[in-house]
């Protein structure tokens, strides 16, 4: 049966699944996903709010769960693993390739990691421990150990008969590696060569002795650059003594490129569009703190000239803080939504939930930073009234910024305007106008009454 890979098809399935779950029709939801490939189910999980995600995960086929975990981005993968027991995680990852095992198990709590290892068979345990022994984002941590090796003194015919007996090759195999009696790599033979040369020739006669290799400690970004430069489909990984340890394939490199693109788009905002409210607020508040420090520095510079100002001097010094904080908070939400739109995670069934989430985060951040800035300004300026004024303005602007940050890109996308290009400008206008109006408006009311 042909698979429809169009984004519209996935979006339609996502809407059907979410509607079925919200209506309590779990059997219908299961039927929708039961014949879908793991990558499509992973996309639906990434595009679902936490409550629906938990239900949907329970509806997935247990035999498919390992493949689904491997397709999920890191944030969503970790949230799903939190729902699993050690036994279920072992079952889900049984028979997976080494690099996939390492990706799924890296970063899980130590107690769960130890419990998973205890339940694994000796072979899988050894493979996992070896993969996780290498630093993250290096060739050693992402390589597959399922290589096919041959000796140089055998004939092509012997190798072909061996492959026929074996019956199945590891995924994405395009080359066999030639090693000596101590497993040092001495060359390689592409499958295309084996099929086109005389069967009586020896492997030594047909192998390429100038094999390009990857050092086990090589950084993943350099690996991606090498694959791009040389148009490789796969490459062997070796240690300092040229012992063959494994291989990296083009699908692994595509994952690197995708992760780097996500980081570039998301910065530090996180890669899970529908993460729970409190973790999302916690992740973003660090950068709000950094921005607040920068805003206070700018205000301190203006404060040098306070003596030349008249009645509104103190307010003039502080008024840049409110729109600046609103701009940062709004941009965090805007970046998250722009990414969600780019990946087709957002549609009619989940956008209202997303708006509610961002509004709640804005209110929470508004309360936290309003209290903080009120205390700081009251101590700094020895004026509680001014502290309360800026606190009120801060709360209003951060609350509005959360809603604007999610609403502006959604509205622009509806009217075919690129939110990645124009969203920041529109958001800055909203946060500046609301921030200054609320701050100076409340100050005017207080000073006159």
Domain at 215, CATH number? 3.10.580.10
Average pLDDT over residues 270-294: 68
344 pLDDT more than 70: yes
Distances (CA, A) of 118 to 108, 121, 130, 134, 189: 15, 8, 15, 21, 39
- Contacts for 68 with CB less than 8 Å, ≥ 6 apart: 38, 41, 42, 45, 60
Does residue 256 lie in a domain region?
no
Label residue 364 by pLDDT band (50, 70, 90): very high
Does residue 260 lie in a domain region?
no
Average pLDDT over residues 302-320: 59
Work out the percent of the chain whose per-residue pLDDT is above 90.
38
Helix, strand, or coil (residue 248): strand
Question: Would you state the structure tokens that stand for residue 122, as one six-digit string?
Answer: 């000796």
5 pLDDT more than 70: no
Asked which of 215, 249, 283 is the last residue of a domain, the reply is 249
Average pLDDT over residues 320-339: 89
Pair 91, 222 in one domain: no
Q: Are 37 and 3 in contact (CB under 8 A)?
A: yes
Asked which of 249, 279, 314 is the last residue of a domain, the reply is 249
Average pLDDT over residues 232-254: 92
DSSP state of 249: E
Predicted local distance difference test score (pLDDT) of residue 270: 54
Pair 309, 232 in one domain: no
Report the C-alpha dihedral over residues 11, 34, 353, 19, rounded to 10 degrees: 90
Does residue 19 lie in a domain region?
yes
Domain containing 159: what range? 149-249
pLDDT in tens, 185-200: 999 999 999 999 999 9
Pair 18, 131 in one domain: yes
Predicted local distance difference test score (pLDDT) of residue 273: 66
Pair 81, 129 in one domain: yes
C-alpha dihedral sign at 115, 116, 119, 123? negative
Does residue 56 lie in a domain region?
yes
Pair 239, 353 in one domain: no
Asked which of 83, 111, 135 is the last residue of a domain, the reply is 135
Helix, strand, or coil (residue 83): coil
Q: Which residues pair with 215 in a beta bridge?
A: 238
Lowest mean pLDDT among 151-165, 242-256, 338-352: 338-352
On the CB side of 101, CA atoms within 13 Å amount to 28
Pair 290, 327 in one domain: yes
413 pLDDT more than 90: no
- Kindly state the helix (H) or strand (E) to which residue 324 belongs, with its residue range: helix 321-342
Does residue 143 lie in a domain region?
no
Per DSSP (E only), the strands in 20-104 are none
Pair 284, 431 in one domain: yes
Residues 449, 444: Cα–Cα separation, whole Å: 8
Pair 158, 99 in one domain: no
Label residue 440 by pLDDT band (50, 70, 90): confident
Does residue 144 lie in a domain region?
no
Predicted local distance difference test score (pLDDT) of residue 267: 46
Predicted local distance difference test score (pLDDT) of residue 365: 93
With b meaning 16 or more CB within 10 Å and e meaning fewer, what string describes 29-67? bbebbeebebebbbbbbbbbbbebbbbbbebbeeebbbb
Q: Are 140 and 216 in contact (CB under 8 A)?
A: yes
217 pLDDT more than 50: yes
Residues 309, 299: Cα–Cα separation, whole Å: 14
Lowest mean pLDDT among 68-77, 104-113, 210-219, 307-316: 307-316
Predicted local distance difference test score (pLDDT) of residue 376: 93
93 pLDDT more than 90: no
A 10 A CB-CB count for 366 gives: 24
Question: Would you state the structure tokens that stand for residue 184, as one six-digit string?
Answer: 């040092």
Return the closest-CA partner of residue 99 out of 191, 234, 192: 234
Mean pLDDT of the chain: 84
Predicted local distance difference test score (pLDDT) of residue 192: 93
Cα angle value 237/240/241 (rounded, 5°): 100
Pair 15, 86 in one domain: yes
Residues 28, 21: Cα–Cα separation, whole Å: 8
Locus of tokens 């009234």:
385
144 pLDDT more than 90: no
Pair 414, 444 in one domain: yes
Does residue 129 lie in a domain region?
yes
Predicted local distance difference test score (pLDDT) of residue 1: 37
Predicted local distance difference test score (pLDDT) of residue 261: 57
Pair 111, 181 in one domain: no
Pair 327, 386 in one domain: yes
Residues 354, 345: Cα–Cα separation, whole Å: 11
């Amino acid at each position: 049966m042909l698979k429809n890979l169009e984004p519209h098809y996935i979006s339609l399935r996502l809407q059907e699944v979410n509607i079925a779950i919200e209506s309590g029709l779990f059997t219908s939801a299961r039927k929708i996903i039961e014949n879908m490939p793991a990558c499509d189910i992973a996309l639906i999980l990434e595009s679902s709010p936490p409550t629906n995600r938990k239900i949907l995960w329970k509806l997935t086929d247990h035999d498919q769960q390992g493949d689904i975990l491997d397709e999920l981005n890191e944030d969503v993968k970790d949230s799903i693993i939190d729902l699993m027991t050690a036994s279920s995680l072992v079952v889900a990852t049984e028979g997976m390739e080494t690099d996939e095992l390492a990706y799924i198990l890296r970063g899980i709590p130590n107690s769960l990691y130890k419990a998973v290892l205890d339940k694994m068979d000796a072979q899988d345990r050894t493979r996992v421990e070896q993969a996780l022994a290498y630093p993250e984002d290096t060739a050693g941590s992402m390589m597959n150990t399922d290589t096919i090796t041959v000796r140089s003194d055998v004939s092509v015919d012997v190798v072909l008969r061996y492959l026929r007996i074996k019956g199945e090759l590891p995924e994405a195999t395009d080359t066999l590696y030639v090693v000596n009696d101590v497993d040092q790599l001495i060359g390689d033979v592409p499958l295309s060569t084996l099929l086109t040369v005389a069967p009586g020739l020896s492997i030594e006669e047909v192998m390429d002795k100038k094999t390009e290799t990857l050092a086990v400690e090589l950084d993943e970004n350099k690996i991606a650059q090498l694959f791009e430069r040389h148009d490789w489909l796969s490459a062997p990984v070796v240690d300092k003594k040229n012992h063959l340890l494994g291989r990296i394939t083009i699908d692994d490199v595509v994952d690197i490129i995708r992760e780097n693109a996500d980081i570039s788009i998301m910065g530090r905002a996180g890669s899970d569009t529908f993460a729970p409210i409190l973790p999302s607020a916690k992740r973003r508040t660090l950068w709000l703190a950094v921005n607040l420090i920068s805003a206070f520095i700018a205000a301190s510079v203006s404060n040098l000239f306070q003596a030349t100002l008249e009645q509104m001097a103190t307010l003039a010094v502080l008024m840049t803080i409110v729109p600046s904080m609103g701009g940062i908070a709004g941009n965090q939400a805007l970046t998250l939504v722009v990414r969600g739109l780019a990946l087709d995670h957002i549609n009619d069934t989940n956008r209202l939930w997303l708006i509610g989430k961002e509004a709640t985060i804005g209110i929470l951040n508004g309360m936290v930073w309003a209290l903080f800035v009120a205390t700081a300004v009251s101590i700094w300026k020895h004026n509680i009234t001014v502290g309360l004024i800026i606190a009120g303005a801060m709360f209003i602007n951060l609350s509005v910024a959360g809603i604007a940050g999610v609403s502006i890109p959604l509205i622009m996308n509806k009217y075919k305007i690129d939110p990645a290009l124009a969203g920041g400008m529109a958001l800055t206008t909203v946060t500046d106008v609301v921030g200054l109006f609320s701050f100076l408006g409340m100050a005017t009311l207080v000073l006159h009454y």
